[in-house]
Amino acid sequence: MPGTPIIVSISSDGVQRATVILDSYSYSPNHLVVESGKPVELTLTSRTTFIPHNFVMKELSAGLSIEQDVGAGKTIIAKLPPTQPGRFLFFCDKRLWPMPSHRDKGMEGLLEVR
């Protein structure tokens, strides 16, 4: 369930940058609003001590395909090229079998491209 939409601001270099905190089992914020046609850079910061997470988007028809691991306590930058408007989900597909995946536990977010 996406939370309050956060409108990502555009830097002077034209890049839309936002920071997303990963915890068990959530992204915060989990509803980002960006403009199409301008690159997006998400700083993904994990707050966990042991549990690894990731950032997965499989919206192939929109050209948004990414799968990046974010180890416990790590920060990585994910780059996305939003080329068309739409509502695209991202999620964490990690799981400790046979437990439910992190996505099933609610670790999911929405990238809204306007």
Q: Which residues bind Cu ion (CB under 5 A)?
A: 53, 92, 94, 102, 107
Copy the structure tokens of residue 112. 């809204």
User: Least distance in Å: CB of 58 to Cu ion?
Assistant: 16
- The residue (of 16 and 53) whose beta carbon lies closer to Cu ion is 53
In the complex, the smallest distance separating the C-beta of residue 63 from Cu ion, rounded to whole angstroms, is 24
- 53 near 76, Cβ under 8 Å? no
CB contact at 8 A, 43 and 57: no
Nearest approach in angstroms of CB 100 to Cu ion is 11
Contact 25, 106 (CB under 8 A): yes
Please tell me the distance from the alpha carbon of residue 36 to that of residue 64, in angstroms, as a whole number: 12
The minimum distance between CB 114 and Cu ion, in angstroms, equals 27
Whole-angstrom distance, CA of residue 10 vs CA of residue 4: 19
8 Å CB contact between 57 and 111: yes
62 vs 107, beta carbon nearer Cu ion? 107
Nearer to Cu ion, 41 or 69 (CB): 69
Using the minimum distance from each CB to Cu ion, give the nearer residue, 107 or 113. Answer: 107
